[in-house]
Amino acid sequence: MGSGSRPGTPGGTKAEATITKISSPSQLSIGCKAFFEKDGEIRQAEVLSIRDKAMRQNIQRTADDAPLDNSESKLEYEFYVHYVEFNKRLDEWVPDSRTRLDKPVTFPKKKNKAAHGGGQQTARDKKRKTNTGGSVATGTAPQTPEPVRHDDAVYTAPREVFSKEKEIEKLRTSGSMTQSTSEVARMKNLNLMEMGQFQIEPWYFSPYPIEYAYTPVLYICEFCLCYYANKTQYTRHRTKCTLQHPPGNEIYRKDDLSFFEIDGRRQRTYCRNLCLLSKCFLDHKTLFYDVDPFLFYILTQRDERGCHIIGYFSKEKESAENYNLACILTLPQYQRMGFGRVLMQFSYELSKAEGKVGSPEKPLSDLGLLSYRTFWSEMLVDLLVGYDGEISIDDLSQLTCFTVQDIMHALFSLDAIRYYHGQHCIVLSERVMEAHERFAKKKLRKVDSSCLKWTPKVFTQAELRYLQ
């Protein structure tokens, strides 16, 4: 967008951020950047919201608001902050006692006051149209709301209206969770979740109903994934809940691990609850409640009480791009135990059973790309080390069910593609072989294809009518 000034702004002067010191936390406003104590360190953070600590009511304040008057009553405030240069999952409510008043505060840019008597307008402003199609004359107030100016740094655009039809279309073309920037920017609405024997702190916002959000603890049944805001209600539900495993068909079992296949159309409530739960730990995706086009594969761990959910991945029933995975998640209490690798490997075992190559839904997130690149590289090196004879990229694709593009991406990341005697060949360096030897010594969980009891599903036109 080109540069320009808003109507009524003298000379189009650009607002500058203000850096100053404050004497009280009540002088902080939304959008300012102050310093707070965090884990024994002093970190700069941006204030996203302010609320009264006692009443737990949000106080929506801007940089233009006057400081709060708390001279008569000793009010205490909490600030919802995002730590600069840290992941969004660390955002939290902090008390005003953790504010460092000895550090400078950066306040956001302020709007310039409109000039009285009508200031000069640029040629671009004169040519701007109102919603009725008429031009804005100099010194004349427009009859309709002013159009949004995206090139004005201090002008906030109104929130985009959420369209159910558009989100359903995005869902059908891009996965079980669709992009929605207006939802991504929202603050966390859950403080703590209790699921079985674990208490989990959510990382991101999840659109649970308002009566369940902003409670001290949200109780979730680990078998049916129903949620409750009250401990008594949750205890009563546990006495009546008869589920001891996800409501689907068990298609894999080895040792204490099992996979269950669930049709999103037949078990809508469970799959919607699963999406709500997973959104607590996925930042750049926003769920929508249309789960009919997807199959969900739930990884569980068995004990005497039942099958406890570890993680899952979803898969489109009909994918034009041959995606074998739409969304994947390992719950935080089971992370760094190798279960993410099990989920990825299982998705390719299903592709082998279907007799076609597959790939995760693109584009991948940064962490998703790193995980898949590591998985592809380890599987390819393990296959190449034990293979005797010549092998082509197409042969690797048929043996692993990886796409040619994914194989080339992994080999280039290993720097294994070399040009020799007029042709390209695969060369594994000493560094790669050393990494493979370390990998071979690890006791990793692996999927045993002989334990998979599954036949690819064939859906009728009536069952796929939601795709029309």
Label the pairing between strands 423-426 and 417-420: antiparallel
| Strand 323-325 with 359-360, pairing | parallel
Q: Cα–Cα distance between 70 and 26 in angstroms, integer?
A: 8
Sequence-distant (≥ 6) Cβ neighbours of residue 184 within 8 angstroms: 205, 283, 284, 286
The answer to whether residue 361 is catalytic is yes
Catalytic one of 167, 222, 361, 378: 361
Angle among Cα 334, 339, 344 to the nearest 5 degrees reads: 140
Kindly report the number of other CB atoms within 10 A of residue 206's CB atom. Answer: 24
Distance (Å, whole) CA 394 – CA 374: 20
CB 259 within 8 A of CB 346: yes
Cα–Cα distance, 421 to 281 (Å, whole number):
50
Q: How far apart are CA 18 and CA 50, in angstroms?
A: 20
Q: Cα-flanking dihedrals φ and ψ of residue 22, to 5°?
A: -120, 160
Residue numbers annotated as active site: 361
